[in-house]
Chains A and B, each alone.
Chain A
Amino acid sequence: MPPFVGPEVAWFALSPLLVLSGGGLLLLVVGALTGRWPRGLYAAVTATVAGTAAVLAAIQWSRIADDGPSTLVAGALSYDAFAQFLTITILISVILVVLLTDEDLHESDADGPEVYGLYLMAATGGIIMAAANDLIVLFLGLEALSLALYVLAASARQRSDSQESGLKYFVLGGFSSAFFLYGIALIYGGTGSTNIGRIVASLQSSVTTGGDNALVLAGIALLLVGLGFKVAAVPFHVWTPDVYQGAPTPVTAFMASVGKAAAFAAIVRVLVVALPFYREDWRPAIWLLAVLSLVVGSALAVVQTNVKRMLAYSSISHAGFLLVAIEAAGHRAGEADPGSGVVALVIYLLAYSVLVIGTFAVVTVVGRNASGDVTLDAFKGLSTRRPALALALTVFLFAQAGVPFTSGFVAKFGVIQAAVEERSYAIAIIAMVAAVIAAFLYLRIMVSVWLSGESSDVDGEPDQTLRIPIGAGLAIAAAAAFTLVVGVMPGWLISTAEAVTTYAR
C-alpha cells in the first residue's frame, strides 16, 4: 500500500469554525473551573467570539471574490460566497440573541457558561450545514445544531412547559433525523458517494446514459421529510407552536433565526447544488410544501391569542415564502444562469433573522414584566407605558407583514419577483394573498399595543416597572435600525448577495 498522505487543510478558510468551536470549548472549560463570572461577562465573551468569527468570514468573502470558490479538507466543505453569506447571517443572529439572553438568565438566577457554549456550538453546526459539501458532514452539522436546540428549549427547567417543549422537540426531531439519514443512505446507494461533487458527477453520467433512478428519487423524498421538519414546513410543522411557546424567548429567537437559516441553507445544498438533475421531480414537492405552509401558517396564526404562538405560526408562513424562493431557484438549478431564487432566499434569511430576533426581544421585555404572560393582554397599552418599545415593535411587525420601507418588504418583493421571473404566477399570487392574511395577525398585535387602553392602571404615566435592560435595548435598537436601513436602501445588500450563486462542489 502507498504511504498515507492526509488531506490538505486550509486553516484560514476554516478559521470561523475554529474560532467558534474553540471559543465555545474554552468558555465551557474555563467557566466550569472558575466561579460565577461578573454579570454580563459570559455574554460579552460569547459576542466577542461570534464577532471575531464574523469578521474572519467577511475577510474570506473578499478573498473568494478574488480567487473564486473552492472546496476544503478533501471536498468536505465548500468555500464559496453562499457559505460565507450564511455564516455572517448566523453570526449576526448569535450576537443579537446573546444580548437578549444575559438578562433572561440573570433574572431566573441561572447565569452560567453552558447556554452560551451551546449557542456557539449550535452556530458551528449551522455554519457547517451551510457550507457542507458532503451529506455526512451536513448531517453532523444538523445534529449538532438540533441537539443544542433540544437542550436549549428545555433549559428553563423550573417551568414545565419548557421541559415539555424540549422533550416534544427532541422526540419529533430525532424521528425526522432518522428520515434524513435514511435519505442519505438511499442517495449513497443510488450514486455511490455522499460527496456532493461526486454525486453530481455520478448523476451526470447516469442521466446521460439513462440509468434507473428510483433509489435517488426515494432518497430525495426522505430528505425532504427531514428538511421539511427542520424548516417547519406544513405538514411537518406541528411541533412549532408548542416548542416556540414553551422555550425561553431568547431561545425561540435563536431557533427562528439560526435554525431556519441553517436549515434553508441545507435545502439549497441538497436540492439546488447536489441534485439539480432531479429538479423536475423535487420542484412540485417544494411547490406543495410552500403553498401549504403559506396558507396554513397564515390562517392559523390569526386565531391565536398567545403572541409567541402567533409568531410561531407566522414563522411557518415565512418558511412558505422561503420555499417559494427555492421553488423559483428550482426552475434553473444547475444552469449557467441560475436565476434569482437563491439570491432572494439569502436576502430573506438575513432580513428575517434580524427582524424576528427584534420581535422576540420586545416579547422578552414585555413578557418578563408580565411575569411570563405573553398573551395579547400583556401588550395592551404598551404605547403609553413605553412608546419607544411600542414603536420598535411596530417597525418589526410592519417588516414581518412586508410593508414598504422595511427590510421585510425588500425580502418579500425579491421572492415574488424571482417567482414571477420563472413564470410561477400561481405560487406568487398565493404568496401575496397569504401575506395579506398574515398582515391581519400583525395588525391584531398592533391594535393591542396602540389602541387598547391601559388594562390595570389608567394614569398614563410611563410605567417604571417596565424596565428595558441594556442588552435587550441594544439588540432591539440595532435590529430596528437594520430593518429600516435595508428597507430604505436595499441596493447594497442585493448587489452583495448576487455573488452567492457560484457554488463550490
Chain B
Amino acid sequence: MELLVFVAASAMVLGGALGVILMRNPVHSALGLVLTLFGVAVHFVALEAHFLAAVQVIVYAGAIVVLFLFVIMLLGVDSAEDLKVDGLTIQRPLAAIIGIGTVAIVSVAVLRTRSTIAAGPALEASGDSNIRLLSRNLFSDQVLAFEITSVLLIVAVAGTVLLTRKQSGPTGARKGS
C-alpha cells in the first residue's frame, strides 16, 4: 500500500514537472505545476506530515499557482514564445547531456547511500504533535531563518515598487515582469 501511494504520488510529481516544461501553452504549464505540488502534498500525507500537506495544498496549489495564472492571463495567453530560434547548434545537445548527467550523478549518490541515511526521529502518535513539533523547531532552532525570511519579503516589496513605479517624464517605460 505504502509503495503504491509512493509510486502514484511520484508519478504525479514527475509527470507534472515534465508538463511544466514541455507544454506549449503557459496555462497548461501552470496546471502541470498544480499537479506537481499536489503530488508533493500526497507525499507529505504518506509521511504523516498532515499539517504540511494541508499547507502545501492551500498555499502552493491554491494561492500561488492561482497568482501565476492571473499573471499569465493578464499578459495574454496567446503570447507563446517561439523557442525554435537557436544561437549555437551545440547548445541543446550539450544541455541534454549535462541535464541527464546531473540526474544520473544525484541518483547514483542517493542509491549508494540509501542504506546509511539516518532515519529521522519518530513522530508521536497524538493528533496535534505535527504542528507542535513544527512550531517548536521553527521558533527555536530556525527562529533566525524565520526572521530573515522577512528581510527577503522586504526586498521583494521594495523591488516591486522600484520596477513598477511610474517615472516622471516621457521616458517612463512600462516594465512587463
Residues of A that sit less than 8 Å from B by CB: 1, 4-7, 21, 24-25, 28, 32, 72-77, 109-110, 112, 114-115, 117-118, 121-122, 124-125, 128, 134, 136-137, 140-141, 143-144, 147-148, 150-151, 154-155, 157-158, 163, 167, 182, 186, 189-190, 192, 195, 211-215, 217-218, 221-222
Contact = CB atoms under 8 A, between A and B. Distances in A.
B143 A74 contact: yes
A6 B143 contact: yes
A109 B152 contact: no
Interface string B130-152: 00100010011111110011011
B144 A73 contact: yes
Contacts of A73: 143-144
Contacts of B79: none
A122 B152 CA distance: 9
B117 A215 contact: yes
Most central of B108, B141, B144, B156 by chain A CB within 10 Å: B144
A124 B151 contact: yes
Contacts of A128: 148, 151
A77 B106 CA distance: 29
A148 B155 contact: yes
Contact of B175 (A112, A150, A163, A218): A163
B148 A140 contact: yes
A7 B143 contact: yes
Given A117-B158, A186-B109, A215-B109, A21 B167 contact: no
29 contacts: A6-B139, A7-B140, A73-B144, A76-B143, A76-B144, A114-B158, A115-B162, A118-B158, A118-B162, A121-B154, A122-B155, A125-B155, A128-B151, A134-B144, A137-B145, A140-B145, A140-B148, A140-B152, A147-B152, A147-B159, A148-B155, A157-B163, A157-B173, A186-B110, A211-B116, A214-B109, A218-B106, A218-B109, A222-B106
Contacts of A143: 152
A24 B154 contact: yes
Contacts of A125: 151, 155
A134 B158 contact: no
Interface string B21-42: 0000000000000000000000
B149 A140 contact: yes
A151 B113 contact: no
Nearest to B105: A218
A214 B112 contact: yes
A215 B145 contact: no
B132 A1 contact: yes
Contact of B155 (A74, A121, A192, A211): A121
Contacts of B116: 211-212
Interface string B150-177: 0110111111011101011101110101
A44 B67 CA distance: 38
